[in-house]
Amino acid sequence: MTFGLRIVCAAFLIAAGAAPAHAMGGGGPPVWTMTLNYCRQTVASKGIAGVDRFEAEVKKCVADPVAYPPAHDKPRR
């Protein structure tokens, strides 16, 4: 094989291997965007209307979204 043909074959092999890796995911919004949206919705559902208090509650939620209390009660079994 000539050098140019080897490069073309190598490029095809690399492209074929990269396609399944891209198909596995990686799309969608970043995690911080989803966390921010979750926190905004949670604080809004609590009925907080003041802008300063709303932003303060969102910041508390973003700092620790797992421990931040939701507006609704957890279901009981």
Residue ranges covered by each domain of the chain: 3-63
Please give the residue that has the higher pLDDT: either 29 or 75: 29
Give one word for 19, left, alpha or beta, with left for phi > 0 and alpha for psi -120 to 50. Answer: alpha
Q: What is the pLDDT of residue 1?
A: 59
Please indicate, yes or no, whether the overall pTM of this predicted structure exceeds 0.75.
no
State how far the Cα of 66 lies from the Cα of 69, in Å rounded to an integer: 8
* Structure confidence at residue 17 (pLDDT): 62
* Contact assessment for residue 42 and residue 61, using Cβ atoms and an 8 Å cutoff: yes
Average pLDDT, the chain: 78
Q: What is the pLDDT of residue 48?
A: 87
Q: Are 46 and 75 in contact (CB under 8 A)?
A: no
Q: Looking at per-residue confidence, does 4 or 18 come out higher?
A: 4
